[in-house]
Amino acid sequence: MSKVNSGNLFVFLVENLIWVLVLVALIVFSLLSDKFLTPFNMVNLLVRVAALGLLVIGQSFTLITGNFDLSSESTMGLTAMVGGLMIASTVNGGLGWEVNPLIAIAVMIVLGCAIGWINGTLITKFKMNNFIVTVAMLMILRGVTYAISPGQSTSFFPELFDFLGSGSVMRIQQATGRFLPIPAAAIFLILMFAVSHVVTRYRRFGRNMYAVGSNRSAADAAGIDSQRVILLVYIVSGLFAALAGLLEAGRMDSATPRMGSGMIFSVQAAAVIGGISLFGGRGTLIGAFGGVLLWGILDTGLNMLQVSPFWIEVSRGLLLLFAVFLDAMKVRYLHRIAVRKALTGNTIGLQDPVMT
């Protein structure tokens, strides 16, 4: 983050508010339940939000450029189903091909990228509205998933295919003497957020994303090919949707035709809570990770307290409203600071009554 000097401390806090909220939520839930803040619970929390988190990464790429991809939940469902069909035996709903899991994974990833490419091409080349294109794709892909499914789920996959979702990379011996498995999904989620943070902050492509999202015409004028940037972020979104499909299929050891259905709202919400602006150009992947964590903490915490799922849904809605409210306040506050600085900085100030 940028340098902090005393006057900007408040701004710094405002801009990193998500981590303050994560901390507060952790403290509150650990006070309410002594089973909450255990290593086992924390690690599982990461696994539960892993698929959501991968979708949030893809969504954040599109949001930063001022776009969005509502179809990613269907992409996730379709890629998982395609993978399942390829590797499961006929008894378990597959096509009986039982291909090598690595080939199935490769096909899923290519499929996800191809869907993203179609979205991006329709939006950039044919200048079609991104809302309509991705909603249409949301419906089409879900329909295709049901149509090709055997009418039920495909399940019982090879271990290699399931590794990302349910494997563990190592075990750590705890003080109690029990072993705590470190799931591959948790590590993968953190790794992917780290990689995407580095890409958005340290790669030209990432900086161009911010430029396009901040002011597309100014970016074009600076020689940035905004069409290409937008096409690429949709491909990235498709890629992460496919990874989410792989992870979720592995976690459940099955692919159902309704996998991912309805998740897109949680995805958008977690990204916005994490500080990614719906208007583009603002927010970081680190913040988005915080949004995913907060989502998971709230979910797990309220579950442990045996709050009814209906009230959990209400609390999610309230959290989202709160996040958007904070975002609006933040923008207004930053703007006011900027105006004040502009008026007092190097000029004599409000000498001109006609100034805006």
Partner 1 sequence: MDSQAGTPVLEMRGIGKAFPGVQALADVDLTVMPGEIHGLVGKNGAGKSTMMAVLMGIQQPDEGTIVIACAQFKAMTPREALASGVAYVPQRIAMMTPLTVAENVLAGMMPVNKMGFVNWGQVYSEADRRLKQLGLEMDVRARVEGLSVAEQTMLAIAKALFSNAKLIILDEPTAALPRPDVDRLFAFVRSLRSHGVAFIYISHHLEEVFEICDRVTVLRNGRLVETRDVAGLDTPTLIRLMVGEDVKEFAREGSQAPQRTEVMVVKDLVRRGHFEEINFTLHAGEVIGIAGLEGCGASSLAKGLFGLQRMGAGDVTLGGKPYNAMTPMAAFEQGLAYLPQDRYLLGIVGARPVRENITYPVLHRLARAFGFVNQDEERKLVQDYITQLGIVTPSAEQTVSLLSGGNQQKVVFAKLATTRPQVLILHEPTQGVDVHAKIDIYRIVSDLAAQGVGIVIISSEVRELLGVCDSIMVMYRGHITERFVVGAPGTTPENILIAIEGGAVNVAQ
Amino acid at 30: S
Dist. CA 248–CA 319, nearest whole Å: 25
Our finding on whether 175 is near partner 1 (CB under 8 A) is no
Q: Closest approach of Cβ 59 to partner 1, in Å?
A: 19
Residue from 21, 43, 211, 252 binding partner 1 (CB under 8 A) = 211
Q: How far apart are CA 348 and CA 108, in angstroms?
A: 62
Q: Is 173 in the site for partner 1 (CB under 8 A)?
A: no
Among 135, 148, 182, which residue's Cα sits nearest to residue 255? 148
Nearest to 237 by CA among 80, 118, 124: 118
Tell me the per-residue interface mask from 258 to 287 with partner 1, x by CB under 8 A, - otherwise. -------------------x---xx-----
Spatial contact of 207 and 273, defined as CB atoms under 8 Å apart: no
Using alpha carbons, select from 53, 3, 12, 45 the residue that is nearest to residue 269.
53
Site for partner 1 contains 86 (CB under 8 A) = no
Number of residues that bind partner 1 (CB under 8 A): 42
Q: What does the buried/exposed string (b/e) look like for 73-107 if buried means 16 or more CB atoms within 10 Å of the residue's CB?
A: bbbbbbbbbbbbbbbbeeebbbbeeebebeebbeb
> Which DSSP state fits 83?
H
Decide if residue 348 touches partner 1 (CB under 8 A). Answer: yes
Minimum CB separation of residue 268 from partner 1 in Å reads 20
State the number of CA atoms in the 13 A half-sphere of 39 facing the CB: 12
Q: Is 194 in the site for partner 1 (CB under 8 A)?
A: no
User: Could you give the 3-state DSSP secondary structure of residue 96?
Assistant: coil
Residue 79: CB partners within 8 Å, gap ≥ 6?
Answer: 108, 109, 111, 112, 241, 242, 245, 246
Distance separating alpha carbons of residues 344 and 40, to the nearest angstrom = 54
Interaction between residue 215 and partner 1 (CB under 8 A): yes
7 counts as binding partner 1 under rule CB under 8 A:
no
Find the shortest distance in angstroms from Cβ 211 to partner 1: 5
Residue from 186, 219, 271, 323 binding partner 1 (CB under 8 A): 219
Least Cα distance to 196 among 63, 338, 17 occurs for 63
Interaction between residue 223 and partner 1 (CB under 8 A): yes
Residue in 198, 314, 321, 329 binding partner 1, rule: CB under 8 A: 198
CB of 285 to partner 1, least distance (A): 15
Judged by beta carbon, residue 131 or residue 202, the one nearer partner 1 is: 202
Among 222, 318, 328, 329, binds partner 1 (CB under 8 A): 222
Smallest gap, in angstroms, from Cβ of residue 210 to partner 1? 6
Tokens of 65: 């450029």
List the alpha helices (DSSP H) in 92-129.
101-124
Q: Which of the stretches 119-127, 153-161, 179-187, 206-214 binds partner 1 when contact is defined by CB under 8 A?
A: 206-214
Q: Is 354 in the site for partner 1 (CB under 8 A)?
A: yes
Torsion angle of C-alpha atoms 161, 95, 114, 165, degrees rounded to 10: -20
Query: Residues 325-344 vs partner 1: string with x where CB under 8 A?
Result: ---------xx-xx--xxx-
Instruction: Indicate the residue among 91 and 221 with the shorter CB distance to partner 1.
Output: 221
Q: Which residues bind partner 1 (CB under 8 A)?
A: 2-3, 198, 201-204, 206-208, 210-211, 214-215, 217-219, 221-224, 277, 281-282, 334-335, 337-338, 341-343, 345-349, 351-356
